[in-house]
Chains A and B, each alone.
Chain A
Amino acid sequence: MTLRDILNKLLGRQKTSASTARERLQLVLAHDRSDLSPELLDQMRKEILEVVSKYVEIDIQEGAVSLETEDRMTALVANLPIKRTLSIASSSEEN
C-alpha cells in the first residue's frame, strides 16, 4: 500500500489501479506457479487443519493456510494460532 492509497482511503476514494493489479497478480501467480487448483488447495487446507487439531487446539477462525510467492519461490504458509495443547497428544505417542 502506498501513501496515495492511504490518502484515497481516508477520502473514501477507490484504491489506485496499479495497487489492485499488483495484488491480483501476486495471488494469481502464486496459484499458477504451484500448479495447484483452488479445490486441491482447499482440500489440503482442511487436511492440514485436521492433522494439527489432533495435537493442539487451534483457532480455526483466525487460522489461514495460503500460498505466498516471492522471488519466484512459492511457499505454503500456515498461520494457526494455538489456543492450548491437547493432553491426548502426549498419551497417544506413548501407545
Chain B
Amino acid sequence: MSPSTRIILICSGKGGVGKTTLTANLGIALARQGVRTAVLDADFGLRNLDLLLGLENRIVYTAQEVLEETCRLDQALVKHKQEPNLALLPAGNPRMLDWLKPDDMQRIVNMLAEIFEYVLIDCPAGVEDGFKNAVSAAKEAIVITNPEVSAVRDADRVIGLLNTHGVKPVQLVLNRVRPKMIASQEMLSIDDVTDILALPLLGLVLEDEQVIVSTNRGEPLTLKENQSPAARCYSNIAKRMQGEEIPLIDPSKEGSGMRDKFKRLMQTKIF
C-alpha cells in the first residue's frame, strides 16, 4: 500500500449533519484538482453516497464481492462519468447487514490505497459497530458538526473515541452555519464550537438551499463552474487538504456597516 495515501474518515456521531454530502463534495472537488480519489461508503446498512453522487444505477458489485474474490476491485469501483479521477466503492449492500468486520475494512482500504491518493471513508452515524469498523481502517479523520447542542455533544463523544483508536490528526468542519443567527447570538459561533471541541478548524460550510437542489439531482455542488456559497466552502476545504493556504472567514466578523459593527460590539465577551 502506498504510504502517502491519505485515508480519511468522515464522521459526526449524530446522523443528518452532512457527512455524506461532505464526502461527495470533497470527492468531486479533489478529483477536479487532478487527485485520484476513492470514496468508500462504510454505511452499508443505509447507504446513500451513491445517490448523492448520482451513481445509484451503476453499482454492480460491492466490497463484499471483492473480498470474497467473486470480482476484481476494478470491477466493483464505480467511476464518476464527469470526474473520472473519482471512484465510488460501496462497502456492502443493505441485505447483508453484519458481514464486514474491522479486518475486512482494513483489507479493502489497503487495496484502495494501492491505486488512489485519497481514500475518503463515509462513516455511519452512531458510535457502535459500524463506526468501529470504519475507524479501524482510518489514519486521520474529519469530524463534521452543526452549531447545535446535540450535534456538538455527539461530535465530542466521537472525538474521544477517535483519540482512543489513535486516529490522528483530527480536524473539524462546521456545517450549516447561518451568519445572521450568529450575529444576533442565537446560534453558537465558530469560536464557541472550536473552543468546546478543541479541534483545529478545517473549514466551515454556509447554510445553502442549493445543497438540497444538488442532492435532488445527484450532482454535487462542487461539479459546477459557477459555485454557490456552500460549494465554495467545500472547494476551499479540498484545497486546504491539499496544503493550499486559504484563509478562514468568520462570518460573524464580516461587514463594515454601522449595524455590523454594533452587532460585533455586542458579541464582546465580558466574562
Contacts and interface: CB of A to CB of B under 8 A. Distances in A.
B185 A4 contact: yes
Most central of A1, A19, A21 by chain B CB within 10 Å: A21
Nearest to B187: A18
Given A2-B267, A22-B188, 17 more contacts: A3-B268, A3-B270, A4-B266, A6-B270, A16-B184, A17-B185, A17-B186, A18-B182, A18-B186, A18-B192, A21-B148, A22-B196, A24-B149, A25-B149, A26-B196, A28-B149, A28-B153
Interface of B: 148-149, 152-153, 156-157, 159-160, 182, 184-189, 192, 196-198, 265-271
Interface of A: 1-7, 16-19, 21-22, 24-26, 28-29, 32-33, 71-72
A3 B268 CA distance: 6
Contacts, number: 63
Contact of A29 (B196, B265, B266, B268): B196
A29 B267 contact: no
Contacts of A26: 196
A62 B245 CA distance: 51
A35 to B, nearest CB: 10
B186 A1 contact: no
Contacts of B188: 18, 21-22, 25
Contact of B156 (A1, A17, A29): A29
Given A16-B186, A18-B186, A72 B153 contact: no
B268 A33 contact: no
A82 B261 CA distance: 47
